[in-house]
């Protein structure tokens, strides 16, 4: 449990967020502001509530107290403007079983209005190391390949903020190095980053603020 505030005015504002499961308080009065181009990394042991915090922040779990605002308005997960702005990777990632790896990325790029979707898809496929698996269906992907696809789904579309729950999981060492470089580049491009993480190297490379639960 922790109360800490990153004192920066930003587009994501989390105020005194509290979540309880029955008598058990997962976290209480968590506040943070996340401006463009900055990264807040949430750390803590298993069961500390990192994933629950991210779920509350993006609006798919209801907090017992506090509020989350995006761009000055109450954040509503099903709001198309929020979905257009936030690229989210949590543990409930979904895929169409009948569509190939490349087709998933193509669909996302087009739905989000990317100007040259073909080029964007090819670039992301190469970057996440899935060019050789472009025609594969999701059911045949390894857990690492699946994680790379979900990361690719965040990078193939326009975004103002990335919310990533332990994105380093199931990635090999070169994959983690790539992820760190990519997140630093995202910050440089003005994208806000909120992630939970267990990898000290990734925290060191990316974090502007660390929130320890």
Partner 1 sequence: MTAIPAPGAVPPPRAVRAYRRAVLRGHGRGVLRTALGATWDVVVGAAVLGALGAQAGRRLVHGVPSHGAAVSASTGGWLLAAAAVALVGAALRGLAAAGPVSAQPAAVSWILAGPVDRAGVLAPRFWLSAAGATAVGAAVGALLPVPSDPTLALVLTAAAAGAAVAAASFATAAAAQQPRAAGSIRGGRWRASVAGVGTGLLIAAAAAGLVVALAGLAGHPLPAGPTGPVLVVVAVAAVVVAAVGGWRARAGLGRLDRGTLASGGALVLGLTTSVAWLDTSLLRGVADERRWRDRATVRTRRLRGSGPGVLLRADLRRLARQPDRVVGCAALAVVPYVVAAVADPIWVSVAQVLAGSLAVSRLTAGLRAVSDQPGLRRMLRVDDRSLHMLHAVLPAVGAVVWMAVTAPALVAAGDPALAGTPAAGEPALGAAVAAAVGALAAAVRAATRPPLNYGGVVVPDVGFGATPVGLIAQVLRGADVALLLAGLILAGAGYPIRLAVATVALAWSLRTPSAD
CB of 187 to partner 1, least distance (A): 22
CB-CB contact of 6 with 34 (8 Å): yes
The set of residues, in sequence order, having a beta carbon less than 8 Å from that of 197 and lying 6+ positions away, is: 41, 42, 43, 166, 167, 168, 203, 206
Residue 16 makes contact with partner 1 by CB under 8 A: no
CB of 75 to partner 1, least distance (A): 12
Residue 111 makes contact with partner 1 by CB under 8 A: yes
The set of residues, in sequence order, having a beta carbon less than 8 Å from that of 12 and lying 6+ positions away, is: 32, 33, 34, 57, 68, 69, 70, 75, 161, 192, 194
Residue 153 makes contact with partner 1 by CB under 8 A: yes
CB of 69 to partner 1, least distance (A): 18
Taken in order 10, 15, 154, 175, the sign of the CA dihedral is positive
Residue 142 makes contact with partner 1 by CB under 8 A: no
CB of 194 to partner 1, least distance (A): 15
Which one among 3, 25, 140, 142 touches partner 1, defined by CB under 8 A?
140
Instruction: Please provide residue 164's backbone torsions phi and psi, each rounded to the nearest 5 degrees.
Output: -125, 125
| Interface residue list for partner 1 (CB under 8 A) | 58, 60, 77-80, 83-84, 88, 90, 92-103, 106-108, 110-114, 117-118, 121, 134-140, 153, 157
């Amino acid at each position: 449990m922790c109360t800490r505030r990153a004192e920066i005015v930003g587009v994501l504002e989390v105020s005194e967020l509290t979540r309880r499961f029955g008598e058990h308080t997962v976290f209480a009065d968590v506040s943070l502001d996340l401006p463009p181009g900055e990264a807040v990394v949430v750390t803590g042991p298993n069961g500390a509530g990192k994933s629950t915090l991210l779920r509350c922040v993006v609006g798919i779990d209801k907090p017992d107290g506090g509020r989350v605002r995006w761009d000055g308005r109450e954040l509503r997960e099903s709001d198309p403007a929020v979905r257009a702005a936030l690229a989210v990777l949590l543990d409930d990632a979904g895929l169409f079983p009948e569509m190939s790896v490349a087709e998933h990325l193509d669909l996302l790029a087009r739905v989000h209005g990317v100007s040259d979707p073909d080029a964007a898809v090819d670039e992301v496929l190469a970057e996440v190391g899935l060019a050789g698996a472009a025609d594969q269906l999701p059911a045949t992907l390894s857990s690492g390949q699946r994680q790379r696809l979900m990361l690719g789904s965040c990078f193939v579309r326009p975004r103002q903020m990335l919310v990533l729950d332990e994105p380093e999981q199931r990635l090999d060492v070169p994959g983690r190095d790539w992820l760190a470089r990519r997140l630093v580049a995202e910050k440089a491009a003005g994208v806000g980053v909120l992630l939970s993480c267990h990898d000290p190297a990734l925290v060191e490379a990316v974090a502007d603020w660390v929130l320890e639960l």
